Amino acid sequence: MLARQIQEPVREVVHRTRGDTRGPITRLVSPSDLAELIKPFVFLDLAVFEGGPRTPMDLLWHPHSGIATVTVILEGAVRFAETTGKRGVLPEGSVEWMRAGKGVWHTGEAEPGNMKAFQLWVALPPELENGPFASQYVMPEEVPTAGPVRVILGAYLDMKSPIAAPPMTYLLVSLRDGERWTYQPPNGHTVAWAAVSDGRLRASAPISSGEIAIFSEGPSPIDFVAEGATRFAIGSAPKHPYDLVLGNYSVHTSIDALAEGEAEILRIGQVLRTDGTLTRPSPTPSATGS
């Protein structure tokens, strides 16, 4: 009698989208739509600037509370500033981690030339959503790398990101044409997604450049094959067990927590207006969106 081979169930793609593109920004996920499927990952933009004029960063100040933002520079460079006084330039291959907590304002501007980046928001648990602000800027040589994988958040094999994030994994993967790669999520990571910035992937369904795929929940591995030179981001985490309570630039777990965060970002906005940094109206609080 032949032994029966036990196979892991295939992680099916349950949703694919090319998002909503406005100018150089494609919004693949926002807190008011697909975030419920993959929370704590609640927002993902793919930004692609191909020359041309930029809006000056002095006009782009905006606040956040209750979340952390993660910006991965794929090509080019971005100039940044935040209300803690930190400012500088993020070069190609670098990572910005900004845990907004109770509230912060920041701004940024793509440097001249082409620029491409992923920006991700992650929802924070109650003990962090109105906690102290923290930011970290990881230069390219500081991002752990092995073969095709760069570790942005969490861990992969024996590599660990220098960023102290809540339990989750966020990787940037580059594959050659025909190369196969399998992702085994850590124990307890039941939500997973992949977004392609360049090339095309085959998983249980094809995933094209500029597209995000959301996988069925569960612990099983996910198999990928590249069609052409392909670069993509992949994220996994335990499912965020809290509600998503939304403001214009904020995501919290309760109405009270949102009110606390919005009060702080309005306070910081008044300071920015008084010292002349902010010259446009402050964002209206408690409006669903991102």
Locate tokens 């965020």: which residue? 240
Comparing 133 with 3, the larger pLDDT belongs to: 133
pLDDT in tens, 189-236: 999 999 999 999 999 999 999 999 999 999 999 999 999 999 999 999
Q: What residue ranges do the domains of the chain occupy?
A: 13-274
Given a cut of 50, whether residue 287 has pLDDT beyond it is: no
pLDDT of 9: 67
Supply φ then ψ for residue 74, to 5 degrees: -85, -40
Residues 6+ apart with CB under 8 A from 283: 62, 63, 248, 249, 265, 269
pLDDT of 114: 93
Reduce the DSSP state of residue 106 to 3 states and report it. strand
Task: Bin 99: left if φ > 0, else alpha if -120 < ψ < 50, else beta.
Answer: beta
Segment 240-249 mean pLDDT: 94
Given a cut of 50, whether residue 1 has pLDDT beyond it is: no
How would you label 194-220 residue by residue, b for 16+ Cβ within 10 Å and e otherwise?
Answer: bbbbebbbebbeebebbbbbbbbeebb
Share of the chain above pLDDT 90, in %: 83
pLDDT of 246: 95
Given a cut of 70, whether residue 249 has pLDDT beyond it is: yes
pLDDT tier for residue 176 given thresholds of 50, 70 and 90? very high
CA 99 – CA 115 distance, rounded (Å): 24
pLDDT tier for residue 136 given thresholds of 50, 70 and 90? very high
Task: Bin 64: left if φ > 0, else alpha if -120 < ψ < 50, else beta.
Answer: beta
pLDDT of 282: 53
pLDDT of 34: 93
- Span 13-274: which CATH code? 2.60.120.10
Nearest to 241 by CA among 124, 153, 102, 97: 124
pLDDT of 285: 42
Task: Bin 23: left if φ > 0, else alpha if -120 < ψ < 50, else beta.
Answer: left
CA 125 – CA 128 distance, rounded (Å): 6
DSSP 143-191: S-EETTEEEEESEETTEE-SS--SS-EEEEEEE-TT-EEEE-PPTT--E
Q: Residue 37: in which H helix or E strand, if any? A: helix 35-38
Segment 247-253 mean pLDDT: 94
Segment 44-73 mean pLDDT: 91
